[in-house]
Structure 1
Amino acid sequence: MLTVDFDKLGVLPGQRVLDLGCGAGRHAFELYRRGLRVVAFDHDAAELDDVAAMFAAMEQQGEVPAGAEATTVRGDALELPFPAESFDHVIASEILEHIPADDRAMRELVRVLKPGGRVSVTVPSYFPERVCWALSEAYHNVEGGHVRIYRRRELLDRLRAAGLRPVHHHHAHALHSPYWWLKCAVGVNRTEHPLTGLYHRMLVWDMLRAPWVTRSLERALNPVLGKSLVTYLYKPAGVAVA
């Protein structure tokens, strides 16, 4: 399940892309399939091991075009271990809401981006996230959990202050919002519950089959209920980031 629209981001084969806070690697895998040179970056060593194993499996299965590259790097988003202007694009999907010093992370991702390069930053949308926080303290008040809820204007203003210029934004995954509301209502840590189990099976079916009914419904609901706010920005020439 991809949150970032790679066509809107403007990725091209051979470009170097940083997937900042890659998690399980969903965006990194698709970038690799599209022939890009991908760096999957995260603080979680165990997840990076799984991502590296998948990169190797993709290569063995012949899913990777010639010229594509993929590597994993462990580190801190506040001190990226890359030279300035190293990447054509940066993806930061569902990571900034976890970082107390998010302004430092923003400056770092701008620092490693080439002039003219594009960034996609995604965060939980304000309204669906606010409902989750109201329903469950355990949803966000855990180690490594969400430390803030962004309003769209606030997020874009802060990214502008870091040196980026907005291009486009949209919302995604509206059908996932009710699932998380249900989990928060019945107990976010409960692994078995008939309501959440049934809804989860529907989401898996939708992701595997992509029927027109649910795809059309989600597109219609995304502007209001989309679980993720997805932004696209670029770095103008001459931006200096300390």
Structure 2
Amino acid sequence: MQTTSSDYYGNVNPTLLGVVDPLAQRVAEFGCGAGALARAVRQRCNARVHYVGVELMADELAKAHEVLDVALVRNLDQTPNWSVDAELMAALPHGSFDHVIFGDVLEHLYHPDRVFQQAVACLRPGGSALVCIPNVQHWSVMAQLLRGHWPQQDAGLFDRTHIRWFALTDMVQLLQRAGLVVEQVVPRVFKPENGQALLQALQPAAHLLGVDPQQFMQRSLPLQYVLVGRRPAV
């Protein structure tokens, strides 16, 4: 997840912050960057929360130490079995966390299911995973493909470090494969007026494919989705 932008690791996603349980006592964030979300959780939710941060980039994680109780540098894509990593298992014991958080991380992984499912094992019964994932069905992706082009950018939907791509159905299935019950799906929509004309023009094509045109419109406006998936209590 390398980039030249200092904001890449330092921004807070307010929608993701908004689904954090203010009573959460134990939180693990994967891809915590410079600790922006951890800092916001302490300031706005629970100053005494036990917060574990796992991050690939050591220089960014160094900026987060003051807001993390445990900070681990790991490339989880290259850790197929977490149980062989004693330090990781000590920091993330199974069945003990109220939240595990992935904010715009899973699309950067070669093995998102494997990483996510091992993280979900850290949740207590009734705990929840909070996930933000870019929406590949966004109208701007369609616009670029119609032009025969896939841009390479430093951030956003066309971030050059994205390895996997998800539409809403794929996101829901990712959580379900991990044994979670999807409780909330929150779309993050920005400047929808910019995509309205294109989407209206494409509605006949959606109908031709057997896709509900209204659903097509609704699912093509969000830039990202935030999902909450709960581990069953029993």
1:27 alignment partner in structure 2 = 37
Q: Equivalent residues in 2 for 1:93-242 (5 A)?
A: 93-128=103-138, 130-131=141-142, 134=145, 135-139=149-153, 140=158, 142=160, 145-172=161-188, 174-175=190-191, 225-238=221-234
8 Å Cα contact 2:17-2:40 kept in structure 1: no
SS of 1:23 mapped into structure 2: coil
Q: Point out the more displaced range, 24-33 or 37-46.
A: 24-33
How has the CA–CA distance of structure 1 residues 222 and 4 changed in structure 2, closer, same or farther, with 3 Å as cutoff?
A: farther
How has the CA–CA distance of structure 1 residues 103 and 43 changed in structure 2, closer, same or farther, with 3 Å as cutoff?
A: same
1:27 and 1:141 map into 2 onto residues whose CA distance is 21
How has the CA–CA distance of structure 1 residues 138 and 167 changed in structure 2, closer, same or farther, with 3 Å as cutoff?
A: same
8 Å Cα contact 2:98-2:127 kept in structure 1: yes
Structure 1 residue runs without a partner (length 5+): 56-68, 179-220
How has the CA–CA distance of structure 1 residues 222 and 42 changed in structure 2, closer, same or farther, with 3 Å as cutoff?
A: farther
- Residue correspondences, number: 179
How has the CA–CA distance of structure 1 residues 133 and 31 changed in structure 2, closer, same or farther, with 3 Å as cutoff?
A: farther
State the Cα distance separating 1:177 from its structure 2 match: 11
Q: Equivalent residues in 2 for 1:63-74 (5 A)?
A: 70-74=69-73
Q: Percent identity?
A: 24
Which residue type is aligned with residue 149 of structure 1?
Answer: W
In the alignment, structure 1 residue 8 sits paired with structure 2 residue 7: no
1:32 and 1:226 map into 2 onto residues whose CA distance is 28
State the Cα distance separating 1:162 from its structure 2 match: 1.3
8 Å Cα contact 1:169-1:232 kept in structure 2: yes
8 Å Cα contact 2:168-2:219 kept in structure 1: no
State the Cα distance separating 1:224 from its structure 2 match: 5.1
How has the CA–CA distance of structure 1 residues 72 and 167 changed in structure 2, closer, same or farther, with 3 Å as cutoff?
A: same
How has the CA–CA distance of structure 1 residues 46 and 132 changed in structure 2, closer, same or farther, with 3 Å as cutoff?
A: farther
How has the CA–CA distance of structure 1 residues 132 and 106 changed in structure 2, closer, same or farther, with 3 Å as cutoff?
A: farther
1:208 alignment partner in structure 2 = none
Which residue type is aligned with residue 130 of structure 1?
Answer: V
TM-score, normalisation: structure 1: 0.64
8 Å Cα contact 1:32-1:70 kept in structure 2: no
Structure 2 residue runs without a partner (length 5+): 1-11, 83-87, 195-216
SS of 2:182 mapped into structure 1: strand
Superposed CA offset, 1:147-201 (max 9, x none): 12211112111211111110011112515997xxxxxxxxxxxxxxxxxxxxxxx
1:74 and 1:132 map into 2 onto residues whose CA distance is 38
SS of 1:104 mapped into structure 2: helix
State the Cα distance separating 1:16 from its structure 2 match: 0.6
State the Cα distance separating 1:133 from its structure 2 match: 6.5
8 Å Cα contact 1:168-1:233 kept in structure 2: yes
1:156 and 1:89 map into 2 onto residues whose CA distance is 17
Give me the CA root mean square deviation: 2.9
State the Cα distance separating 1:141 from its structure 2 match: 7.5
SS of 1:17 mapped into structure 2: strand
